[in-house]
Structures are given as structure tokens and as C-alpha cells.
Structure 1
Amino acid sequence: MLRVNRAGGAPGAKSQIHTHPGPEAFYVLAGKLGQRTPYGVTYAEAGTTMTGHGADTPIEMFSAGTTDLDELAIFVLDADRPFSSPAKFDRGEISRGGANVRSLSRFSARFTSRCSWPMAS
């Protein structure tokens, strides 16, 4: 099954750590997207794409720029599995790459209402 989500947020907004049952890719419309996985941290600027990783890879997405992020996330999913599941990084992986992300409390109402990322509690 193919799914396309539009998401974004203020600088510093981030998702909870989660997995998907298939690969994903991103197209950044505005701002800067950050992606943290066990493999490190990668970034994509407005007008560029980013490939995700395979199924069941722990991932945390975040708005890494100085302006609001607006992006499209494209997923190839297993229709018999949940869209996303909570996950954790192995010890030490969460700080790999040194990305500076602010607390979840900085999410804007606009981000929360249109974002499909699983929100941290």
C-alpha cells in the first residue's frame, strides 16, 4: 500500500522515535528536515529529497532549520501491519550525530493538526 502524508512544524519540532512496516522517502517543500536513525543523522533542504531506511528501522524526524518545515513523506506499507509503532534506539544511538532538537512542547498547533508523525507523550 502507498501512503503520502504532508507534515511539518516549527524549528525544533520532532516526532517520537518510531518504525514503519516498509520503506519511506521524503520531499522537502520548505525548511530543513532532519532524520535520526541508528545509522546517524541526515538532512534535506527545501527542494530536495531524502530516502529513508527499510522496514522496522527506528527513526526520529525533526524540523532542523530556522524556518518552518513543510514536507511530503511517501511510504510503502504492509497493509496488514500498523502504520507506525513506538520504538527506541539502542543505548547511545539517540545522541549519535549531535543534532540539536528542542523539546516537544515547542510544537505549534498547526504542526500537530496536520502532522501524521506519532507524537511523543
Structure 2
Amino acid sequence: MNLHLSHETLGVASAAICGVLTFLLRWLPMRHPPQRSRSARGRAVWSMLGALGPAAITALLVVSVWPAAEQLGDAPTWAALGAGLGTVWLVRRFAGGIALPTLLAALVYGACRYFLTAA
């Protein structure tokens, strides 16, 4: 079986897969939250739950960059990527949390891609 998929189809499929997996990573552990405990297993579970925020940012980064990987030599692409990552760092440093930095970084990245490539 030999499938020939377009780059656009692969991009949409990878975005959908990353979105579903990110959702499952965040939702499944919360269905049955573990009790905080002093056991090694309990600490390990809470440690994994604490890693979900950075995992979401990484998924956002991969989904944003993957379709444009062949354009990474392009200055507007690097500028948008840098602006998005800088937004995550700044908002996380001054406001804390993980949802707001991720949301604002996605908006900044998207705006940069739109305005810098439209020019």
C-alpha cells in the first residue's frame, strides 16, 4: 500500500494528531486525579502532571513549525518563531502560569506570520 499525500494534507493531519494527543495528555490524568502522597509513585505522577504545560508548548511549537520547515531559511519565518518563543518566555516570567503564555504566543506567532508574509 503506497499512499501519496500532499504536504497540505500531511500538515492538517499532523496538526489534528498533535491536538488530540495534547488534549488526551491533559484530560486523561485529570479524570482520576491521584491523591497527593509521600510515596515515590505519587511524586512521580505529580511530576508528570507538572510536565504537561511544557509539553503543550512543545506541541504548539512543532505544529507551528512543521508545515513551514522548508521555509526556515526565510527571515519572516524566523522572526515569527522568535516572536512566539519570546512571548512565551516574557509572559511566563512576569505573569506565570502556562495557559496565558501559550495563548499569547500562538496569537503573536500567527500575527507575525500573517503580517510579515503578506508584505
Q: TM-score range by the shorter chain?
A: under 0.3
Q: Please state which structure has a larger fraction of its residues in strand.
A: 1
* TM-score, length basis structure 2: 0.22
- Greater RCO, 1 or 2 (C-alpha within 8 Å, sep 6+): 1
| Larger helix percent | 2
